[in-house]
Amino acid sequence: MANSARNLKIRNSSLDEIDQALIGLLSDNARLSHAELARSVGLSPPSVAERLRRLEEEDGVVSAYTVELDPKALGYTLTAIVRIRPLPGQLHHVEKLLIESPEVIECDKVTGDDCFVARYLLRSIDELDPILERIAQRAQTSTSIVKASPVKRRLPPVP
């Protein structure tokens, strides 16, 4: 599976051009049929199905097919990146608070003075202060508002 001998092959050499093409096509539209993919890469549909099975189950390179939602269309007009340094003894409370906040769409625990880096989706700037006030009881925070996203979330380079 993902940690088998075959995996070493991927880390050390690379996926062939057809696998790369399949990943590229699916990253643009994960709902393309095997038949459509097959026409694009010049293989038969069963061959495409077998390659995808290997990418998913053997190599573990493809971990999921998912949907992207447009935050704006859902009314989220603002993204904030908040660095959070819990006060002594508050680390677990803070981590739990972040995990249980649905407006936190991503949170990493990092080295350095700031323990957490969280990404918040907000409906308006008015939501920010109450959120920070709640954390302020347990942590120091440093907030940045996202003005633009020069690199929107993209795939890891495929070797």
Q: Which residues are at the interface with DNA (CB under 7 A)?
A: 18, 33-36, 42-47, 49-51, 54
Within a 13 Å sphere around the CA of 40, how many CA atoms are in the beta-carbon half? 18
Rounded Cα gap, residues 153 and 28, in angstroms: 13
Least Å from the CB of residue 11 to DNA: 16
Q: Does 86 bind a copy of itself (CB under 8 A)?
A: no
87 to 106, contacts with a copy of itself by CB under 8 A? 95, 98-99, 102-106
Of 123, 73, 81, nearest to 98 by C-alpha is 81
Continuous segment of H or E residues that includes residue 82: strand 78-86
Of 68, 84, 64, nearest to 131 by C-alpha is 84
Least Å from the CB of residue 91 to DNA: 45
Distances (CA, A) of 107 to 53, 119, 138: 31, 6, 17
Q: Tell me which of DNA, a copy of itself, none is bound by residue 155, counting a contact when its beta carbon lies within the kind-specific cut-off of 5 to 8 angstroms.
A: a copy of itself
The answer to whether the CB of 61 falls within 8 A of the CB of 7 is: no
Q: Tell me which of a copy of itself, DNA, none is bound by residue 130, counting a contact when its beta carbon lies within the kind-specific cut-off of 5 to 8 angstroms.
A: none
Q: Does 35 bind a copy of itself (CB under 8 A)?
A: no
Distances (CA, A) of 92 to 63, 81, 82, 85, 87: 29, 20, 17, 12, 10
Which lies closer to DNA via its Cβ, residue 31 or residue 153? 31
Q: What phi and psi, each to the nearest 5 degrees, are found at residue 4? A: -90, 180
Q: Does 66 bind a copy of itself (CB under 8 A)?
A: yes
109 to 148, contacts with a copy of itself by CB under 8 A? 109-112, 114, 116-118, 121, 142-148
Binding footprint of a copy of itself, residue count (CB under 8 A): 68
**Single-letter amino acid code for the residue at 19:** D
* Positions that interact with a copy of itself (CB under 8 A): 2, 7, 10-11, 23, 26-31, 59-76, 79, 81, 95, 98-99, 102-112, 114, 116-118, 121, 142-159
